[in-house]
Amino acid sequence: MVRLGFIGAGGMANHQAGQFSKIDGVQITACCDVSAERRAAFAQKFNVPAVYADYREMLAKEQLDGVTNVTPDAMHAEVSIAVLERRIPILCEKPMATTLDDARRMLDAADKAGVVNMINFSYRNSSGLQAAAEAVRAGLIGELRHVESSYLQSWLVSKGWGNWRESPGLLWRLSTKHGSAGDLGDIGVHIYDLTSFLCGDIVEIYCKLMTFDKGVPGNQIDEYVLDANDSFVSTVVFAGGAIGAIHSSRWAVGHSNSLRARVYGTAGAIEVDLDRAYDEYRICAGEENMKTFRWETVKCPPTPSNYERFIEGIRTGKQDPSSFANGVKIQAYLHYSFMSDRLGRPVRVDL
Ligand SMILES: NC(=O)c1ccc[n+]([C@@H]2O[C@H](COP(=O)([O-])OP(=O)(O)OC[C@H]3O[C@@H](n4cnc5c(N)ncnc54)[C@H](O)[C@@H]3O)[C@@H](O)[C@H]2O)c1
């Protein structure tokens, strides 16, 4: 039996708990939230016997085989380090931290603890993405030359997610004072992770961030100053020499939550389009297909989810590729994107 503890019992914790509950031999034995209402509702919904207001007390009193850190971004470092000091395997929500220094401190703590550590980049749950990454690594499309990838949402222009002007759950994402690193911090992390998972490390970034006028008098609603970026475009260079354009936006009309990457190599091209399907990728490779511009769809059998791989890691001690070390890389891409935007020029990524 794997005894799992939850720190944070909000929206994403509820989603995670639903996923963990489907895995045989896993029991959520403890949970913690500073909100009495949320921890009580979570404990009732998932039958959790031990409920805490203070995560340090939970860590001191409970025998846990793994902990998932589903607190807000600004709490990730403090909570994860406390868990790792007790040598408990950890799954931490994305983004890993709010600063590169904090992410590095978290990695140090993980290295010292020597236990399984993971960041929950959810799109790695796609078997199409997993298989496409393997195909790229196996050289099916040759050496990479050119990459384009995007993560598109439209909730600033459409009401598909509700009216952001009246939704605290969306308004905080527009305000740096409320801990938001904008579109780049929220969904940029996912597209940087997806793209580097497919194409390898990024060594140079030239990023432009934009914060557009939202037609709100004084650019403020209640305590929310609407100052966080809402669109970004990065030109990047990969360690393997390819160039890429990576972008995301909250202004992309017609898209609810669309991730897509197209990777072009010397012997073919691969496309992952998660709007189309999570369990397939498309490939154009081989002389005849390249000559006739013919793409084939490859259906991909299910691969273990992040949650299944975390539990497997706890059971076997095997470290997953979506580790804290990878999390530091993605945090570095954010850090150098902000720096590049500030300086108005390309910057080298220094891990
Ligand atoms: N992987 C994904 O695709 C994905 C999707 C959504 C959210 N997230 C991430 O998950 C995290 C949580 O987001 P959410 O949407 O669930 O937010 P949320 O506000 O619904 O939940 C966070 C919970 O943490 C609790 N909390 C705050 N400080 C705490 C502390 N010191 N100890 C214990 N509990 C504490 C809050 O009371 C709240 O209930 C964020 O980091 C977010 O970026 C990831």
Tens of pLDDT along the chain (351 residues) come to 999 999 999 999 999 999 999 999 999 999 999 999 999 999 999 999 999 999 999 999 999 999 999 999 889 999 999 999 999 999 999 999 999 999 999 999 999 999 999 999 999 999 999 999 999 999 999 999 999 999 999 999 999 999 999 998 899 999 999 989 999 999 999 999 999 999 999 999 999 999 999 999 999 999 999 999 999 999 999 999 999 999 999 999 999 999 999 999 999 999 999 999 999 999 999 999 999 999 999 999 999 999 999 999 999 999 999 999 999 999 999 999 999 999 999 999 998
The encoded tokens of residue 80 equal 């994860």
Question: Cα(72) to centroid of ligand 1, in Å?
Answer: 4
Place of tokens 């690594």: 137
Of 12, 94, 151, best ligand 1 pocket probe by most atoms within 8 Å of the beta carbon: 12
178 close to ligand 1 (CB < 6 Angstrom):
no
* Pairing of β 144-152 and β 258-265: antiparallel
Q: What is the pLDDT of residue 351?
A: 82
Domain 129-303+324-348, CATH? 3.30.360.10
Pick from 335, 351, 338, 328: which is nearest to 106 by CA? 328
Q: What is the pLDDT of residue 169?
A: 87
70 close to ligand 1 (CB < 6 Angstrom):
yes
142 close to ligand 1 (CB < 6 Angstrom):
no
Q: Distance from CA of residue 170 to its chain's centroid?
A: 18
Domain map of the chain by residue range? 2-123, 129-303+324-348
Report the b/e string of 313-349 with b at 16+ CB within 10 A: bbeeeebbebbbbbbbbbbbbbbbbbebbeeeeebeb
Of 6, 19, 33, best ligand 1 pocket probe by most atoms within 8 Å of the beta carbon: 33
Closest approach atom of ligand 1 to CA 35: 37
DSSP classification of residue 165: G
* Pairing of β 90-93 and β 243-249: unpaired
Residue nearest to atom 27 of ligand 1 (CA): 71
Please state, in angstroms and rounded to a whole number, the distance separating the CA atoms of residues 271 and 10: 34
Question: Cα(94) to centroid of ligand 1, in Å?
Answer: 10
Report the b/e string of 77-106 with b at 16+ CB within 10 A: bbbbbbbbeeebbbbbbbbbbbebebbbbb
Task: Collect all residues with Cβ–Cβ distance below 8 Å to 217 and sequence separation of at least 6.
Answer: none
Please state, in angstroms and rounded to a whole number, the distance separating the CA atoms of residues 178 and 169: 11
Please state, in angstroms and rounded to a whole number, the distance separating the CA atoms of residues 33 and 72: 11
Residue nearest to atom 1 of ligand 1 (CA): 122
Identify residue 122 by its one-letter amino acid code: S
Q: How far is CA 342 from CA 211, 267, 339, 348, 350, in A?
A: 13, 38, 5, 14, 17
2-123: CATH class: alpha beta
